[in-house]
Amino acid sequence: TRYEENFKQMIVELNQTGRSVRGLAKEYGLSEATIYKWKKFNLPDQSTGLTGKEVAELRKENARLNEELEILKKAAAIFSRKT
């Protein structure tokens, strides 16, 4: 990534302490859209309580588990035919 994770978190925390997105964007040479994206990724969603980062991790884990399940289903089918 272009920016270190701790820099992104610092910008989000500065915004949380009352600094405006516009002011931070100007001061650090960022686009406002970038800061809003970082906020979405690092702050909990009000409806789920999960951050964007946590949601991405859960989706990745879910995909991995689904892949493992498919492998196990195929293995079970193969072994059940042999008996």
Mean pLDDT along residues 52-80: 94
Residues 43-69 have a mean pLDDT of: 93
Residue 81: the pLDDT is: 85
Kindly tell me if the per-residue pLDDT of 1 is higher than 80. Answer: no
| Close Cβ partners of 45 (under 8 Å, ≥ 6 residues apart) | 51, 52, 55
pLDDT at 45: 87
Please name which of 58, 51, 19 lies closest in space to residue 37, comparing C-alpha atoms. Answer: 51
Please write the tens of the pLDDT for every residue from 22-49.
Answer: 999 999 999 999 999 999 988 988 888 9
Tell me the pTM.
Answer: 0.67
